[in-house]
Structure 1
Amino acid sequence: MYKFVIEGGHRLRGEVSISGSKNATLPIIAATLLTEGTSVIHNVPQLRDVDAMLAVMEYMGARISREKNKLVIDTGRVNNLEAPYELVRKMRASFLVTGPLIARFGEANVARPGGCAIGPRPIDEHLSGFEALGVEISEEHGYIIAKGKSLKGTEIYLSERSVTATENLLMASTLAEGETKIVNAATEPHIIDLIKFLNSMGAKIKESDGIFHVIGVSKLHPATYTVIPDYLEAGTLMIATAIAKGDVFLREAVAEHSSAEILKLEEMGVSIRKDVGGIYVKCNKRLRAREIKTAPYPGFPTDLQPQICSLLCFADGTSLVKETMYEDRFNHIAELQRMGADIKVDGRTIVINGVKKLDGAEVMASDIRCGAALVIAGLAASGKTKVLRVYHIDRGYERIEEKLARLGAAVVREQA
């Protein structure tokens, strides 16, 4: 068990490269199950969640080798169509193997994902979509048992724009007979990246008027692919730069993936300049309070809500942040209060009155983005902040303390 120890008050300067997107990497790993042979994935971040997904793949018979950020996956010997609870419980995204297994093998036996610290995340949209494609779904002893030897293309309407349901159904429909239309699908950058990977394998997927059209093919082939940069890491580091009154170039960051967060930061007073090779972020003044509402892409990402709350603690005036995606994504609130923030929850709205300073304190990360928010708050707090349970942060950020330290932050990883 480790903790981060952060001494606040150090400005961030310089440049740092953005790692590959975790949320693109996970479904792309699962998608390699759609075919026999060896696929090569580049720009894969070294994260606990990636390790968890690879453990599921190896359990099913995939042969995997890694060299830094390069991943080689041979799915030719996959013969175990079960994803057990002891592996799936470590990360809900493990359920993404279900669609590829059904498409290639006609069946899957996958443990139902467990609860989540930020609120219910049901898999109903996945299951109803599979059934629409002709899959028989049953449940026994906590496992989803799916059987469907000949999938038929159809029109699937998602009642909510679920990211993982969209990904699972895209993968399942690549080998279905005929055309599948997925209506009201999620369109985050990592979903578009998954589609590009599937098309590089021989799939036929297009988007038109917000609808994904999938023309089923008889067979896919392995591919070599490079994962997009992580726009959530980029957003986190933009916010970190702003709170630390920094001047930073985020190399490889894609501005088009971060339009909503860039707009809000600029409204607050942060200077942002877009460049072909990344994003320049500069802030040297106290910021303005704002109202923010999380929404599906291209709206403001729920995965940046905790981090922006840390920044708004230092803004002049009263800010309102409405969380529309997850009913319990408020774990960071009590921890920020421990640091002296004037912040509270009113229903699904976070009310933040800006303060002159935060005080370093011992705080605890309870999920990936909560942990990132506490690290950000620690950068600007007076004295030392100790962030416990950083294994949550390691699930979604590749050595974030090293990146911040290279920019001038006083942050170290220590044994808890």
Structure 2
Amino acid sequence: MEEVIKIEGGHRLHGTVRISGSKNSTVALIPACVLGNAPVTIYGVPNISDVRSLTVLLRELNVEVKQIDEETLYIDPTNMENIPMVSNAVSKLRASYYFMGALLGKYGHAQIKMPGGCYLGPRPIDLHLKGFEALGATITYEHGCYILHADELVGSRIFLDISSVGATINIMMAAVYAKGRTVIENAAREPEIIDIATLLNKMGAKIHGMGTSTLVIDGMQELKGCSHEIIPDRIEAATYIIMAAAMADDMVIENIIPQHIEAILMKLEEIGIQMKVGPDFVEIFGSDKELR
């Protein structure tokens, strides 16, 4: 039986909605947690199926995972084992490719089934692999699995042909344990990159240049645990804000970072939407004007 969403239109909206943690950050933060040798606690974890799939993968690696409450995840990689990641759970989740960078960085070896996930058009991982090779890894593809190996990862200057979020994060995770300095040119600048780098820096990494097109990573010998709160989901926030602009009498969208959705807010102001922007919320006021 197919799931169906039925919407009855024509009703004005009002009230308050709280934005959950960034989905795109979460699917990279969770694999990044295994880079340390002590527990990491993540707050603001969204209730999505990808988190449950990542939890399955962590437990296959003998990582302890506890759901403290609805939005808090405790991850302890103390007894982690670097086993081949070949289960069906890998095929269900495209973001499982972040374990490539994490395991290669921490152990110098990773074996992982071709990542799966929903089909959103061509999304090759060649930039990820080229970055790993630039750090000194050899990569083979056998029986549907990528096998990545490096006796020693060495920092390098890497230029990304496309400013890819996934490749930037994956290379950054491998580079935190590389010997010397790694510079990623044409790096992605999205808020999620800053969020992952912030977590890694809390764990003891040395990453500079977040939010710019040049990331500098100085390799470390060991990372520790920490606590970290995920940034709010800017896509979810923008969706509710546009919905409120179209159909709300008075609606408050909480737990946002206004700078992350600045372009949306500016465009809404241009078309006459009345709003109040606070440090972590936006209130949209109703309008009788017809939007065109």
* TM-score, normalization by structure 1: 0.66
Q: What residue is the counterpart of 1:216 in the other structure?
A: 219
Paired with 1:46 and 1:60, the residues of 2 have a C-alpha distance of 22
What letter corresponds to residue 10 of structure 1 in structure 2? H
CA shift in 2, pair 1:155/1:77, >3 Å? same
CA shift in 2, pair 1:64/1:233, >3 Å? same
Report the more deviating stretch, 263-272 or 18-27: 263-272
Point out where structure 1 has 5 or more consecutive residues left out of the alignment: 288-314, 316-416
Paired with 1:57 and 1:218, the residues of 2 have a C-alpha distance of 22
Q: What residue is the counterpart of 2:26 in the other structure?
A: 25
Q: How does 1:325-336 map to 2 (within 5 A)?
A: none
Paired with 2:75 and 2:226, the residues of 1 have a C-alpha distance of 10
* Partner secondary structure for residue 15 of structure 1: strand
Q: What residue is the counterpart of 1:149 in the other structure?
A: 151
* Partner secondary structure for residue 257 of structure 1: helix
Paired with 1:134 and 1:175, the residues of 2 have a C-alpha distance of 12
State the shift of 1:170 in Å: 0.8
Paired with 1:92 and 1:56, the residues of 2 have a C-alpha distance of 12
Q: What residue is the counterpart of 2:61 in the other structure?
A: 60
Which residue of 267, 270, 274 maps to 1:271?
A: 274
State the shift of 1:153 in Å: 0.4
State the shift of 1:136 in Å: 0.5
CA shift in 2, pair 1:271/1:84, >3 Å? farther
For residues 67-118 of structure 1, give each alpha carbon's deviation from its aligned partner in whole angstroms, at most 9, with x where no partner exists. 2111001111221432225112212111111111011111111112247532
Q: How does 1:65-144 map to 2 (within 5 A)?
A: 65-66=66-67, 67-84=69-86, 86-114=88-116, 116-144=118-146
1:286 aligns with 2:287: no
Q: What residue is the counterpart of 1:231 in the other structure?
A: 234
What letter corresponds to residue 255 of structure 1 in structure 2? P
1:8 aligns with 2:9: yes
State the shift of 1:281 in Å: 2.1
Report if the CA contact (8 A) 2:37-2:222 is conserved: no
Q: What residue is the counterpart of 1:379 in the other structure?
A: none
1:251 aligns with 2:245: no
Q: What residue is the counterpart of 2:186 in the other structure?
A: 184
* Partner secondary structure for residue 217 of structure 1: coil
Report if the CA contact (8 A) 1:81-1:107 is conserved: no
Q: What residue is the counterpart of 1:37 in the other structure?
A: 38
* Partner secondary structure for residue 209 of structure 2: strand
State the shift of 1:172 in Å: 0.6
Paired with 2:274 and 2:146, the residues of 1 have a C-alpha distance of 49
For residues 216-254 of structure 1, give each alpha carbon's deviation from its aligned partner in whole angstroms, at most 9, with x where no partner exists. 111100111111111111011011112324421111111
CA RMSD of aligned residues (A): 1.6
What letter corresponds to residue 189 of structure 1 in structure 2? P
Q: Percent identity?
A: 38
Paired with 2:181 and 2:261, the residues of 1 have a C-alpha distance of 32
Report the more deviating stretch, 14-23 or 122-131: 14-23
Paired with 2:116 and 2:228, the residues of 1 have a C-alpha distance of 31
* Partner secondary structure for residue 73 of structure 1: strand
State the shift of 1:188 in Å: 0.9
Q: How does 1:308-319 map to 2 (within 5 A)?
A: 315=292
Which residue of 181, 206, 209 maps to 1:207?
A: 209
Report if the CA contact (8 A) 1:28-1:197 is conserved: yes
Number of aligned positions between the proteins: 288
State the shift of 1:190 in Å: 1.2
* TM-score, normalization by structure 2: 0.94
* Partner secondary structure for residue 250 of structure 1: strand
Q: What residue is the counterpart of 1:160 in the other structure?
A: 162
State the shift of 1:283 in Å: 4.4
* Partner secondary structure for residue 183 of structure 2: strand
State the shift of 1:265 in Å: 2.6
Q: What residue is the counterpart of 1:310 in the other structure?
A: none
CA shift in 2, pair 1:233/1:115, >3 Å? closer
Paired with 2:217 and 2:206, the residues of 1 have a C-alpha distance of 6
Report if the CA contact (8 A) 1:269-1:283 is conserved: no
What letter corresponds to residue 150 of structure 2 in structure 1? G
CA shift in 2, pair 1:82/1:6, >3 Å? same
Which residue of 264, 269, 281 maps to 1:261?
A: 264
Report if the CA contact (8 A) 1:136-1:146 is conserved: yes
Paired with 2:115 and 2:270, the residues of 1 have a C-alpha distance of 39
State the shift of 1:34 in Å: 0.7
State the shift of 1:279 in Å: 1.2
Paired with 1:280 and 1:83, the residues of 2 have a C-alpha distance of 45
